[in-house]
Amino acid sequence: MYRNRQDYIIIRQEDYMRLLDEQAIEHIALGASLLGTGGGGDPHIGRLMALNAIRKHGPVKLITPDELPDDALVVPSAMMGAPIVIIEKIPNGNEFITAFKGLEDILGKQVYATIPIEAGGVNSMIPIAVAAQLGIPLVDADGMGRAFPELQMVTYHLDDIPASPMVIVDEKGNSVILKTITNNWAEEIARVCTVTMGASVMISIYSMLGRQVKESGISGIMSFSEQIGRIIAEARKERTNPVNDLLSLTHGYELFKGKITDVSRNIEGGFNRGLCQISGLEHHSGSSMQVSFQNENLMAEKDGKVLATVPDLICILDADTSVPVTTETLKFGRRVVVIGIPCDRRWRTERGIETVGPRYFGYDLEYTPVEQLAGEEEHHGV
């Protein structure tokens, strides 16, 4: 048995996945979409990319960070841009390999394994496709334990691991190589490139050694995603409601249940930004909730009272199917359940809050843990 950096996630060794087959990918895509908090890319497209890769090249070996040699080169691979764009600008399948191999050429060293940069419907799937095509292992860890909209918003950044050199590739075959002085500059410059290249690109970034992954990565994210996805899939098969099981697994809270009455969104600076208005149903009848997002859900307010903010996870589930709802698929009339999940403890450090707290995103309030905000709400009998 081993324990994840997120204290509430414990994976039993007998349940640990060594090879990712089609069933595992189906579950991971579902679970990672939930942890993506509305961002991280469309799970359907990501799932198809990963499934196609393992059908062609065989299943992917999943390894723990502890199984990495200390001097092994590990390279994350991911999509950057507005998730809504990838629905219409579907990758041709070669971009992420080009980006990955481009960074390998720059570093002059063979890559031992790849790793997700975040949890999400696409960004948990791309590393699976890369690992399958290149015949290398996939590390069961990431740098967020969820999804965030900017490149410096990773635990690697908290430990001063440089984002660059990084390689950016679009579906046309254009490539950009960046070497920046800080990780924030990597975000600024890469974002401009991303907008110019069509608001959706593939990247390789944050090359690390095995010992750095062990120290800075958030372990167990793929296994945790699989556990979440299995709960949702089994509930759908049995036509039961998985929300209570999900809350038990994640130590989360039900924040709201209702019907979407309005969604406003726009593509701004390479991000999908907007607001979602939800009118309460059942025990939330007579109340309303507003969820603000920037690719990912950032803040949830019920009747004007904040119930959750970044860096805690704000996740939206379809009330009928229990499938996670991404920000690009929010639509009028959809019945949803909003849940809040505590983030990895590293985001609750001073530097973590400075990097991904509500003030960074322009909200004039201090970060308060979801268990305190939602707990107070439950205490008052709501």
For residue range 295-349, list pLDDT tens digits in order: 899 999 999 999 999 999 999 999 998 899 998 889 999 999 999 999 999 999 9
The count of other CB atoms within 10 Å of the CB of residue 122 is 31
Residue 42 to residue 325: CA distance in whole angstroms: 9
Q: What is the pLDDT of residue 185?
A: 97
Supply the pLDDT for residue 89: 66
Q: What span, in angstroms and rounded, lies between the C-alpha atoms of 119 and 188?
A: 22
Which CATH code of 3.40.1610.10, 3.40.718.10, 3.30.1360.120, 1.10.3720.10 fits the domain covering 12-222?
Answer: 3.40.1610.10
Give the CA dihedral 251, 256, 257, 262, nearest 10 degrees. -130
Q: What string of DSSP letters covers 250-270?
A: HT-EEEEEEEEEEEEEEEETT
Phi-psi region at 159: left, alpha or beta (left = phi > 0; alpha = psi -120 to 50): alpha
Provide φ and ψ at 222, rounded to 5°: -70, -40
Sequence ranges of the domains in the chain: 12-222, 242-379
> What's the pLDDT at 84?
63
Cβ-contact 292, 245 below 8 angstroms: no
Residue 100 has what pLDDT? Answer: 82
Q: For residues 211 and 217, give the distance between their C-alpha atoms in angstroms, rounded to a whole number.
A: 10
pLDDT on residue 42? 76
Spatial distance between the Cα atoms of 292 and 240, rounded to a whole number of angstroms: 29
**Below-70 pLDDT ranges, the chain:** 1-17, 82-93, 268-270, 376-382
CATH fold label, 242-379: CV3147-like (2.40.390)
Angstrom distance (rounded) from CA 375 to CA 382: 10
Give dist(CA 338, CA 290) in Å, integer: 10
Rg over alpha carbons for the chain, rounded to the nearest Å, is 19
The conformation of residue 221, written as its DSSP 8-state character, comes to H
d(CA 243, CA 256): 12
Question: The pTM is what?
Answer: 0.90
Give the model's pLDDT for residue 83.
Answer: 64
